[in-house]
Amino acid sequence: MTSDTPSELLDCIELETGPQPTHAVIWLHGLGADGNDFAPIVPELRLPAAPAVRFVFPHAPVQPVTINGGMHMRSWYDILVMDLVRREDAAGIRRSEAAVRALIARENARGIPTSRIVLAGFSQGCAVTLHTGLRLPEKLAGMMGLSGYLPLLDAASAERHGANADTPIFLAHGEYDPVVNIARATASRDMLTSLGHDVRWHTYPMQHSVCAEEIADIRDFLMEVLK
């Protein structure tokens, strides 16, 4: 359910693990970062040469962010209050959903079906990943949500599509995250589990970041779903 259609595709960083990729990972960065943020992780994943995977790291639009005094920065949606629940930028989240759907459609046009695409994201990118993945009418290979949460919880059950009812969802969070409290992540996990989703839950002794153990677990997950 989207109310906005992007007029043009987001700019992206792309890395391919081999020629003529047959699979893709669309990976969304967090607030204030850009598509370069997670590109260095690709070689650390040590994925095999086959199947070849295209990693797509889009740059979020630059827009004002309320909790940062209206400062302009790359953001998938506005953050209105720190508790992340009381008031959410539903229109902004849905605009980003439309932008991600457009990136999926481009991969389809390049010969990669949605069933061979993993949606991934960190923090805000995690929120958009989970929001979009639940609503897609085509089955994904998997979803990865890192240090984030499922937004618009009250709408998730009514708006979700059955296509990804059994799609594996990798969720990971830092036990000491001061930005997105782990309680918000566990609430998202519990919501997804209650809806029957296949949630793979991981926690690590870290803050709002990524660690070596998590990268190893991401590799295992990608090796499983990118077949």
- Side-chain half-sphere exposure of 122, counting CA atoms within 13 A: 28
One of 23, 173, 177, 188 is an active-site residue; which one? Answer: 177
User: CB–CB of 120/146 below 8 Å?
Assistant: yes
**Catalytic site residue 4?**
no
**Catalytic site residue 208?**
yes
One of 123, 173, 188, 197 is an active-site residue; which one? Answer: 123
**Catalytic site residue 177?**
yes
One of 198, 208, 209, 217 is an active-site residue; which one? Answer: 208
Catalytic residues: 123, 177, 208
